[in-house]
A and B are shown apart, each in its own frame.
Chain A
Amino acid sequence: MAQQELIIEAGKTERHYWKDILRFRELFFFLSWRDILVRYKQTAIGIAWSLLRPILTMAVFTVIFGRLAKLPSDGAPYPILVFAAMLPWQFFANSLGESSMSLTANANLISKVYFPRIIIPASAVIVSVVDFLLSFLILSALMVWYGFFPDWRIMALPLFILMAFMASFGIGLWATSLNVKYRDFRYIIPFVVQFGLYISPVGFSSSIVPEKWRLLYSLNPMVGVIDGFRWAILRGESRIYWPGFALSAILIIVILLSGIRYFRKTERTFADII
């Protein structure tokens, strides 16, 4: 018999944490699978909705920023410019929304069963990946329609997807642990998401921001991610402002690491206060 000894002591539950995550990977898959199933099950509108929302947003932005405000499109068709930004933005917004509510939504699991709690917000982010893939199909269709095809730079896209993932997971970790402690924190997230849509370069290219403000503008971590997506998808026509990009990337890493730290620090008390 493989006799493994488990020690439970105050402030010391974390010794096998990362090993435990590996051990509970099946639960992680099952939770993601559950969330995806529930999301797309029964609701025929489920899939239609995740297709319709980005298309409508793109149409509105194209009309307002491209046609009415006549903002520059960096040499690409305006809808593609918008959609290249919609991809990471929707992914960020969805996964932030899902993960920030994930712990409180699974309160009964947390108070009845042990597993590394970080599995819950992580699997919530995974659900948004499905929406992301669907949106990607729309983008491909758009590119075929406009006859605009990416070059080798598209190979770098997974890197930027990883950045988007880290950004939303990092902020999601903060949000969901704060949400357990302060129940009115959830009112802040939708506001952040809505506000973020306007201050991030989704409907317009970040090149319209004056050069001297761009570093400041990059304090919004999504600026780096969106610029990266545009660079990869629009054949480099949309140039990256590298100092800003580096700042965004560093910020994302800081947010993620501090998010994990804060989550780990507070997760031991989740079951007591949830």
Chain B
Amino acid sequence: MPTVIKIENLSKKYVISHQRQEPYLALRDVLAENVRRFGGRLSRVITGKKASGRPSREEIWALKDVSCEIKQGERVGIIGRNGAGKSTLLKVLSRITEPTSGRVSIRGNAASLLEIGTGFHPELTGRENIYLNGAILGMKKADIKRKFDEIVAFAETEKFLDTPVKRYSSGMHLRLAFAVAAHLEPAILIVDEVLAVGDAQFQKKCLGKMQKIGSDGRTVLFVSHNMQAIRNICSRAILLNKGEVVSDEATETTISHYTRFLQEIEVNSETGVNNELVRRGSGAIRFTSVELQDADGNKRFSFEMGDIVRFKISYRIFREMKGLIVHIALCSGITRENVTSVRHLVTPDKLAAGVKGTLIVEFKDIYIRPGEYPVYLLLCDADMTSASKDVLDDLAAPLVITAGGKKIYDNFDPSRPEGYFSLPSQIVLNEIEGENIVNAYSKKEE
């Protein structure tokens, strides 16, 4: 098979300024800064002092010397923690942002799907949005016309075709958006975590469509946190960490690298608490550290079924809060829906700025099926107002449950993972009536 994507020593640098609070550059700030700098230089000239360091800029290599080749028809998954450079890689491949150095060559027409429903306009009708979105994704008008009925059927929105999209339910909106995207037919498809949205039903539909695209012999590049989806779709996976390729092997091998790798990292770093990408708090309260521990207080990420899992959470309050609630949810690694969640009132008291605290929440006898479970953590005030909260969306490492050697109950078979829980069960009534029942243990008598 010929190579369709060739990436050679690709690097991408971002310069991040730490000094500013605002996300955007403002002209007045630039002017003010220039005046200040000029004043500073002037005063240095006069006083003869040396310039003081201004540590306001930091360079971040989102991609560092990435090289790989992808052959026609290959389905490659890209995995890694938040901020590992996965999305940056896709953005460079889809020409949204340019690399700092290195080279990529792509043969054949490529389409990227970094988001579904890009460019949907709420005032326009479903019909109009199909055309608009199709054009944005790079489809020709004639192609859209040809596939129009198919798209509408897939989205199940026939009745609402001439209704403005703003009147759609969020589910309909998603279905329509995905339907357009699913009817792209490029030779190379570049997909970012589009499955991270929508309900479980919808995500299954998306996954099915993705699998079909893969089996059509098209080249697929797929970024996901969802290991199950990667397993289902991809034959090969690339693990990125801090912009570098750590592993580029068969899917299972790379995933096992990733799991081991996560556990190693967690020993010396803090679970994403410092990672701005996964948190969206209001600033009134902040997680200062989060640890997963076993019953003896050892830091761990991987647990066996039936183990005790402890979440040790430290926080600090920056603005006065009325009471404190902690909310912990374990999500499905596949669909991201909550598998289970708990909520505890930590205290109903008023907490002033500067208060610090630590608490441990214990899950006893965890009966979740073996797998990876991203963790969602929330701290907020007793009234659950969003004005004072801190959220950790995905701990950098998911909670990993393994089958272990424990026999939790008779007939327990961890290799048959259906559903999320393993509830101990047994047959308590067993009546079989009728004739011609052959005893399984007494056959082959004749």
Residues of A within 8 A of B (CB): 1, 3-11, 13, 26-27, 30-31, 34, 37-38, 41-42, 106, 108-115, 178, 181-185, 268-269, 271-273
Contacts and interface: CB of A to CB of B under 8 A. Distances in A.
B96 A112 contact: yes
Contacts of B115: 108, 112
Interface of B: 14, 24-28, 30, 91-110, 112, 114-115, 118-119, 121, 123-124, 128, 131-132, 135-138, 140-141, 187
Contacts, number: 114
B118 A113 contact: yes
B103 A7 contact: yes
A114 B102 contact: no
Contacts of A10: 98-102
B30 A42 contact: no
B27 A5 contact: no
Nearest to B100: A10
Given A4-B108, A11-B98, A113-B112, A42 B123 contact: yes
10 contacts: A8-B95, A8-B106, A30-B135, A37-B124, A112-B114, A112-B118, A113-B112, A183-B25, A184-B28, A272-B97
A210 to B, nearest CB: 36
A197 B250 CA distance: 66
A196 to B, nearest CB: 20
Contact of A109 (B98, B124, B136): B136
B142 to A, nearest CB: 9
Q: Which of A30, A115, A273 is the most central at the interface, judged by chain B CB atoms within 10 Å of its CB?
A: A30
Contacts of B102: 9-10
A182 B118 contact: no
Contacts of B25: 181-183, 273
Contact of A5 (B24, B95, B106): B106
A11 B94 CA distance: 15
Given A8-B98, A112-B114, 6 more contacts: A8-B105, A9-B103, A31-B132, A38-B123, A41-B124, A115-B136
B105 A6 contact: yes
Given A38-B121, A112-B115, A113-B118, A26 B140 contact: yes
B96 A271 contact: yes
Given A8-B103, A34-B121, A114 B131 contact: no
B360 to A, nearest CB: 41
B128 A37 contact: yes
A5 B103 contact: no
Nearest to B133: A30
B181 to A, nearest CB: 11
A185 to B, nearest CB: 6
A185 B28 CA distance: 9
Q: Which of A7, A11, A27 is the most central at the interface, judged by chain B CB atoms within 10 Å of its CB?
A: A27
Contacts of A113: 94, 96, 112, 114, 118-119, 136-138
A274 B95 CA distance: 15
Contacts of A272: 14, 97
B40 to A, nearest CB: 22
A1 B140 contact: no
Contacts of B91: 271
B96 A30 contact: no
Contacts of B14: 272
